[in-house]
Amino acid sequence: MKHNDDAFATMLLMSQLSANKEEIVRPLSVAEFYELRDLAASSGLKGMGDLIGMDLNTMRRRLNLGENEAYRLCVLLGRVMPLSYALERFSEGGIDIATLEEAAYPRRLVERLGQKAPPMIYSCGSPALAAKSSMTVISNTCARPDVLECACELAALACDAGIVLVTGGEIGFGRLIEREAMQEDGRVISFLAESLVERIYQPGLSELIANERALALSIIHPEAKYTVSHALERNKCLFALSDASFILSCEKGKGTAWEGAASALRNGYAERMYVWDNPAIPGNTALIAQGAIPFRSPHELALETMKASWETPAYEQLSLF
């Protein structure tokens, strides 16, 4: 993928060039990036690309920055050759980067997360899937027989309706959803909190990607390992990326499934959130009490009708009343 100057500046400012080594200076956080972008716009710059090649004194003067702040930006923006080598290496492995300024970036993330949307995303697979009707499916387990049955039924119905399944791709439940998509001739987006480089070559997901039925996404360095903090940071994207989210199991007050769902409800990241109304799972009951929509069985959901409503423009829906 060819990147314009604004996109390249975003990557220079945000990229961690190595999964393991310390950077000379720390890349910008998401909040720092948006602050800088607003500052650049208010200073009369046409875009973030105008910062590339700007010297320390000019940057201090144009952006009204302190010396340390300007030095940090100059160092980050000076990593042109190392970043170019990294992009070439990733591209050879089938991994692209999409930034806010580019068409391949999932627009739903910007629409629902605003300035909490990640400025850049690593990807492998079919980017067109991010614009399709989709539903996120989450559970903290697939070991319980009732959860397993519900998950398989829901995934099969979604595939039959032509809805893209969105998952975290984690060992256990995430891999189950990927397998169901493969078996049911469906499509899947796996938004990972682990090494993208390793996952895209593993059986199952690799075949789906090769057949343009999968998209693997990540906001962390492609060689970084899974951590809970990576998963928590990723979770808001997992909810924001889809038309609806379905929670099958979570433990109240514990784990990334609960934290992600509770945060999505609290902050409005999810367009619609449905929770399996199973009294044997107290975490589900707690989410319903916080405003999630209960459902008793996947077969009562009428997913084809839901999909049609998701694909109907808002002004057409309003005209019906």
What are the pLDDT digits (tens) for 187-209?
999 999 999 999 999 999 999 99
Whether 76 and 136 map to the same domain: the answer is no
What local confidence, expressed as pLDDT, does residue 316 receive?
Answer: 55
Give dist(CA 208, CA 188) in Å, integer: 8
Beta strands in the chain (DSSP E): 96-99, 120-125, 134-139, 164-167, 188-192, 214-218, 244-249, 273-276, 293-295
Whether 37 and 163 map to the same domain: the answer is no
Tokens read off for 321: 């009343």
What local confidence, expressed as pLDDT, does residue 297 receive?
Answer: 96
Question: Which residues are CB-neighbours of 26 under 8 A, at least 6 positions away?
Answer: 72
Tokens read off for 161: 């309706």
pTM of the model: 0.93
Beta strands in 33-153 (DSSP E): 96-99, 120-125, 134-139
Which of the listed residues 45, 68, 92 is the one where a domain comes to its end? 92
Nearest to 277 by CA among 265, 292, 266: 292
Give the CA radius of gyration of the chain: 21
Per residue in 133-157, pLDDT (tens digit) is: 999 999 999 999 999 999 999 999 9
- Residue 287 three-state SS: helix
Q: Which residues pair with 275 in a beta bridge?
A: 247, 294
Q: Is residue 98 part of a domain?
A: no
What domain range includes position 49?
5-92
Give dist(CA 88, CA 94) in Å, integer: 10
Whether 167 and 294 map to the same domain: the answer is yes
Count structural domains, the chain. 2
Calculate the average pLDDT of the chain. 94
Query: Per-residue confidence at 321, pLDDT binned at 50, 70, 90?
Result: very low
CATH code at 306?
A: 3.40.50.450
What local confidence, expressed as pLDDT, does residue 320 receive?
Answer: 46
Give dist(CA 89, CA 97) in Å, integer: 12
Query: Per-residue confidence at 286, pLDDT binned at 50, 70, 90?
Result: very high
Whether 176 and 77 map to the same domain: the answer is no
Query: Per-residue confidence at 314, pLDDT binned at 50, 70, 90?
Result: low
